[in-house]
Amino acid sequence: MITMYSADWCGDCRRSKRLLNELNVPYTIVDVDADESAAEKVIEINGGMRSIPVILFDDGTHLTEPSDASLKEKLQSLGLIK
């Protein structure tokens, strides 16, 4: 399962969501504006920065503000897309 820490106003978040949708990769959204503990988790993951999106993967890794190319590469490495 992929979890994305996101916010409605975030352009990079919308771009990553659009890519996941186009690739038919399921994910769960956690809205950092609606959930203060989620915002704190983002800051913890990013070493003090509130950068989003943060995308968590089942293998325990994450990407912060990934480009479409790096997100696709990660999904391929996990076998989620070809």
Would you list the domain boundaries of the chain?
2-77
Q: CA–CA separation, 48 vs 23, rounded Å?
A: 31
**pLDDT confidence of 76, banded at 50, 70, 90?**
very high
With 0.85 as the threshold, say if the pTM is over it: yes
**pLDDT confidence of 15, banded at 50, 70, 90?**
very high
Task: Look at the block and give the residue holding tokens 């990769």.
Answer: 25
- In the CATH hierarchy, which top-level class contains the domain 2-77? alpha beta
Q: In this structure, are residues 76 and 68 in contact, taking their beta carbons and an 8 Å threshold?
A: no
Q: CA–CA separation, 19 vs 26, rounded Å?
A: 11
Q: CA–CA separation, 70 vs 34, rounded Å?
A: 28
Mean pLDDT of the chain: 96
pLDDT at 62: 97
Q: What angle do CA 49, 40, 52 make, to 5 degrees?
A: 50
Q: Report the pLDDT averaged over residues 54-70.
A: 97
Q: Residue 82 pLDDT more than 90?
A: no
